[in-house]
Chain A
């Protein structure tokens, strides 16, 4: 604990640190920069833990590392598993992840509009699929919105921090109908700071960063099996709050705790800690990445704790705020950004 201030002083050039300091100054003295201030918090100050800090310790599986190091190592994991990602998902969950994803998308019912008497009842929607590299969620969203709900005004932006995962998604999207391909866009971005984004492949043409995702521009923010890899989850939740329109929905599908069923939980833990790294070694030739996967699931907060983190970021939840899937192996959390008073 004593070493932390010293460590922080040792890296004064860090962009994020300056960012954090300037925010503190801004909220206390400045009036000219009010427009840039995030509208996301009720008490007008972002808690310190929700400001990304590359030097802050976090966990990478069962190890303790800094946030910056976690970012790098997660990038390494997903670059190495990108090619075999879908095949591995099928093997590890016996194909059941498809059922979860289908249910997740069906419960959100994107593109649905009430039949009203006004001229065009179909409202356009913008869906931001964070950590959606391989497009699993985004393609299902487009299918539900364009085909089942007949609403072609639904756009989906796939965002991922990892260009390797995004390019897999880009390849897979080639088999979609042209109208759905036109509604898709790919974005390389860090979910903790969506003000700095670049389209996929921007590196090759010497692209300068765009303005990022504007405030209150997204109807639905989804993140499926991604949020546990984030270095700073509270910061990502606040960023989600910023980009969502009032009434917009934050929806998260993530592995969770099956503690409510002890016997099932024992079998599940046995499977994940012994079989999954082995499958990873045999199929993908990468044991360490899959070891990280199961450890990161273990370290992720329980349903109730994660729900409280969502509420803490300013969202409102309905009912108990989450829905367990398969006894709690996975869970869907949803929150809505309330209307401005």
Chain B
């Protein structure tokens, strides 16, 4: 399924670099999907075990499970931000065992919060021991990350339902700037609504996310989310506004999320109004900047032309 107008690469830097051929490249098929990349870079890390036996490298008969685990680990390392229509990136953020503990623990979040207690209760439900969740290197933060990843991945199907079908998601020809703004608001609200079930515990989650060691993964998740929202809304910008749009949406989303934790209005009406005000402000500020740039550009060109008319060789 190749749409001529769809820009499959979401990272504009490349397209800016090759701006002269950008239109051709943007429409060309994208060979480097998540799957292809991970397979081509796979190395056999566990093929031998340099253990106590010194010179002899034992022939390890790799079980399939072991290979799968390693592949997943590599996939996680080589995950990239490209959006491919043909190869949706596989969910490899968690190994099957992590997934089973975390999904069971997630059910306990409304009552226990994002805590070791929820993890241990989840481990019991999944048939493991109280001690089992200690293999999760991030502890309770793993549960928060699970929430972030799962809700981001579930956004696409929910949004396509909202917009009336698979074909209505993502970049489409004939989407006006104005329509895209409305869609960004709708998708962002869809994602915020997904926090409703854990909203009573979200303040403590935000506190954990603000701990120094967890700030980088949290910010990364935020960046992935705003990227996802803009992609689903159909934004196809390939100029520097690619960055400013994502940065401003991230800020707005984080603020709205924080606002929501203290919102007691029915169905979070106040949060939605807050979100709308922030998005409008950005558009206004964006408009001012656009006008300013236009004015500076016009004045500069006019100035150059005046100088040229005076005989200055420019």
Do A249 and B134 form a contact, CB below 8 Å, given A47-B58, A304-B45?
A: yes
Chain A contacts of B116 at CB under 8 A?
109, 112
How many angstroms between the C-alpha atoms of A268 and B55 in the bound complex? 27
Chain A contacts of B52 at CB under 8 A?
58-59, 67, 230-234
Chain B contacts of A123 at CB under 8 A?
129-130
13 A-B contacts (beta carbon < 8 Å): A112-B116, A113-B120, A114-B117, A125-B129, A125-B131, A233-B52, A247-B131, A249-B131, A312-B46, A318-B95, A320-B73, A336-B97, A336-B135
Which of A49, A115, A246 has the most CB atoms of chain B within a 10 A radius of its CB? A49
Contacting residue for A234 out of B51, B56, B127, B131, CB 8 A = B51
Distance (Å) between the CB of A137 and the closest chain B CB? 14
B46 touches A308 (CB 8 A): yes
Q: What 0/1 pattern do residues 241 to 257 of A give for CB contact below 8 A with B?
A: 00001111101000000
How many angstroms between the C-alpha atoms of A304 and B43 in the bound complex? 13
A334 touches B56 (CB 8 A): no
How many angstroms between the C-alpha atoms of A107 and B73 in the bound complex? 23
Question: Which 7 A/B pairs are nearest by Cβ-Cβ distance?
Answer: A247-B128, A49-B58, A114-B121, A308-B46, A247-B129, A319-B137, A114-B120
Which of A42, A56, A247, A338 has the most CB atoms of chain B within a 10 A radius of its CB? A247
Distance (Å) between the CB of A42 and the closest chain B CB? 5
- CB neighbors of A among B48-86 (8 A): 49-56, 58-61, 63, 65-66, 69-70, 73
Which residue of chain B has its CB nearest to the CB of A336?
A: B135
- For chain B, the count of residues having a C-beta within 8 Å of the partner chain is 45
How many angstroms between the C-alpha atoms of A225 and B73 in the bound complex? 27
A308 touches B131 (CB 8 A): no
Interface size class, chain A = 35 or more
B201 within 8 A of A: no
B49 touches A64 (CB 8 A): no
B138 within 8 A of A: yes
A309 touches B51 (CB 8 A): yes
Contacting residue for A339 out of B50, B54, B128, B135, CB 8 A = B128
Contacting residue for A49 out of B51, B69, B127, CB 8 A = B51
A56 touches B97 (CB 8 A): no
- CB neighbors of A among B114-162 (8 A): 116-118, 120-121, 123-124, 127-132, 134-139, 142
Which of B46, B121, B124, B130 has the most CB atoms of chain A within a 10 A radius of its CB? B130
Do A108 and B134 form a contact, CB below 8 Å, given A43-B61, A301-B51, A318-B98?
A: yes
A220 within 8 A of B: yes
